[in-house]
Amino acid sequence: MSAGEIGTTVTQHLLSQQAEHGGATGAFTRLINELILAAKIINREVNKAGLAEILGLTGNDNVQGEQVRKLDDFANDVVTRRLFHSGHICALGSEEEPVPMNVPDGYRSGNYIVLFDPLDGSSNIDANIPIGTIFSILRKRSDTPAGKYDESDILQPGYMQVAAGYFLYGSSTMMVYTTGTGVSGFTLDPSIGDFLLSHPNIKMPSPGNIFSANMGNWDYWEPATKHYLNHLRSPMGAKPAYSLRYVGSLVSDFHRTLLYGGVFLYPADSRDPKKPTGKLRLLYECAPLAFIAEQAGGVASTGRERIMDIEPEKLHQRVPLIIGSREEVTLAEQFYAGRLGEKT
């Protein structure tokens, strides 16, 4: 590449997409750019987390009853401030906040809702395991006054998403997103401080040869889950038998599945009576990753229902998630429908 040539920046990519939408006002581009700025700020702190006193616990619990690490708090605050600063938000929903957030007084408001997990996988922070920020972008659909929202604006099924994506703070920092016309991946070049297009038009290989699940939950899973995984891992089942990879950080496990194919699953389990439908949240984890998976040619299901079709009932609703290559997820659905069983 000749001097001065750096490839396509994410902003150039956004502007070219904006140009293709005749009626685009630039509001969406502005909003995404604020998310990108938030990610760069979070990335800076994540990269030095091992050095700064920012590690450790705030001593507070979030709505999930999970001890909140300082970086979670910091990431939540950065994303919230930057998005309200965009002037195009009417409400925000965060894993770290019990209820949706209104536009603060003094800020311009707009017609977008962003639901996000500011720092997913945060329990891995101390072990330097890759973690991420996940976001889902919806358009206001109620006729409430400017800057106001009602529940129908927040509780929208996944197929209503305008865009979805994640930032992965790992060996390199990446941004992966879709607006419904394919999936693009960008890698942060720290020397220029910008995300450059590194993975154009991502397609999920199918079939893959990796399955990803927390096998420690084995005794708490329903029979269909066990029969499906036995099929994948036994030489008498899938040919050749699959490998198991499990990071325990959703964005990492999903990103590998997106690029290499295979299946990630966090099914319902009976380990925690308070979480009978699994651990992952529909609106700001499963639905945005489902949008990306489908745009990359994959499938995202509860095992019995398309994730993107679920009509949400609560902001922090949890659902089972089986997401990955078309072949593996549709096979899983056969097991959950009882059409395949123990000896398959």
Which residues sit at the interface with ligand P6P, rule CB under 6 A? 120-121, 123, 214, 248-250, 253, 266, 279
Q: Do strands 89-94 and 112-120 pair parallel, antiparallel, or not at all (unpaired)?
A: parallel
Shortest gap between Cβ of 249 and ligand P6P (angstroms)? Answer: 5
* CB of 163 vs ligand P6P, minimal distance in Å: 21
Greatest alpha-carbon pair distance for the chain in Å reads 64
Cβ distance to ligand P6P smaller for residue 88 or 279: 279
Q: What is the closest distance, in whole angstroms, from the C-beta atom of residue 10 to ligand P6P in the complex? A: 24
In terms of Cβ atoms closer than 10 Å to its own Cβ (0-12, 13-18, 19+), residue 212 is buried
CB of 176 to ligand P6P, least distance (A): 16
C-alpha to C-alpha distance for 174 and 183, rounded to whole angstroms: 13
Task: Write the CB contacts of 222 (distance below 8 Å, at least 6 apart in sequence).
Answer: 267, 268
**Smallest gap from residue 277 Cβ to ligand P6P (A):** 14
Smallest distance from ligand P6P to CB 301, Å: 17
Comparing CB distances to ligand P6P, the nearer of 82 and 256 is 256
Say which DSSP state 274 is in: T
How is residue 279 written in tokens?
């651990």
58/144 with CB nearer ligand P6P: 58
Looking at the Cβ atoms of 153 and 253, the one nearer to ligand P6P is: 253
Kindly list the distances between the CA atom of residue 205 and the CA atoms of 49, 90, 175, 210, in Å, as whole numbers in the listed order. Answer: 34, 38, 20, 11
Report the distance separating Cα 274 and Cα 271, nearest Å.
9
Q: Which of 144, 214 has the CB closer to ligand P6P?
A: 214
**Complex with ligand P6P: residue 122 or 184, whichever CB lies closer:** 122
Q: Which residue has the tokens 């040869």?
A: 209
Distance from C-alpha of 140 to C-alpha of 133, rounded to nearest angstrom:
22
Per DSSP, 166 falls in state E
